[in-house]
Amino acid sequence: IEIVDSFVPDSEERFQLDGNWELGEFSQLYGKMEDVYYILNDIRRWKLLSQGSSQKTAISSAFEKPWRGGGSYRSFYADVANDNQEYSELRMGGISYHSPGYVTIKAKRVAFDQFLQSLEQYSESVKLSKKAYNKLYSTMSQNQLLGAHRQKVLTDAIRDRMVKRSEELSSFLDGVSYQSLVEMAQGDKVVASKVLLSIYRRIESLYKFFDEGRIAHPDIELGN
């Protein structure tokens, strides 16, 4: 029974849609929703899994990319989605494009709650989190780390600055532990910071749909 339960979504969530939607925009929305939902769930699962677990090995393998361009990120999030197919798959339910319309999503309750909490926390600190993102991005850009190969050798000063700014950014994203990302990336702090930046960008993109009033969920209360 426990095995079957891990495969089956146990919550159906309804989002209200408003305004005019192009098919490409909706695909973008759902793609970002999947990325955030799945990476947050992998971080949550990582903390619960025992050392040497085959699931931990699978999660870490997603981080083994060149990390020199967009292809690595697309491949990374595709692997993260595959990691979750047997545990917390996100599925599309019914949809109506009429204004107002709706879309239903079938999800695992615990994973979806984390997804909602992360969006809510972001909404309460949009300006501060953006400032933290810019500081980390600037540090990595100035030191040629954004397009660097894995395991690039860093000076202690640059590494400490990057880690400090990564920890600051992750503090604004509920459910996103920078230390867990470092562990998932097998100790590579540069890769962990790159993934952290990508998570922020996806949450930021998702939030814009809510902030514009184009999509809403009863359990998401946007901050000021």
pLDDT for the residue numbered 183: 96
Range 206-216 average pLDDT = 90
Nearest-angstrom CA–CA distance, 88 and 74: 20
Other C-beta atoms closer than 10 Å to the C-beta of 144 total 9
Residue 6 has pLDDT above 60, yes or no: no
Nearest-angstrom CA–CA distance, 80 and 59: 7
Retrieve residue 115's tokens. Answer: 């997804």
Task: Kindly tell me the burial class for residue 114, based on how many C-beta atoms sit within 10 Å of its own C-beta (0-12, 13-18, 19 or more).
Answer: buried
Q: Tell me: the pLDDT tens digits for 17-44?
A: 887 777 788 888 889 999 999 999 999 9
| Biggest distance spanned by C-alpha atoms of the chain | 55
Q: Tell me: the pLDDT tens digits for 48-89?
A: 988 888 889 999 999 999 888 778 999 999 999 988 877 677
Q: Tell me: the pLDDT tens digits for 97-154?
A: 666 788 888 888 888 899 999 999 999 999 999 999 999 999 999 999 998 665 667 8
Task: Kindly tell me the burial class for residue 219, based on how many C-beta atoms sit within 10 Å of its own C-beta (0-12, 13-18, 19 or more).
Answer: exposed
Contact between residue 80 and residue 44 where contact means Cβ atoms under 8 Å apart: no
The SS3 call for residue 215 is strand
- pTM beyond 0.85: the answer is yes
Retrieve residue 21's tokens. Answer: 């939607």
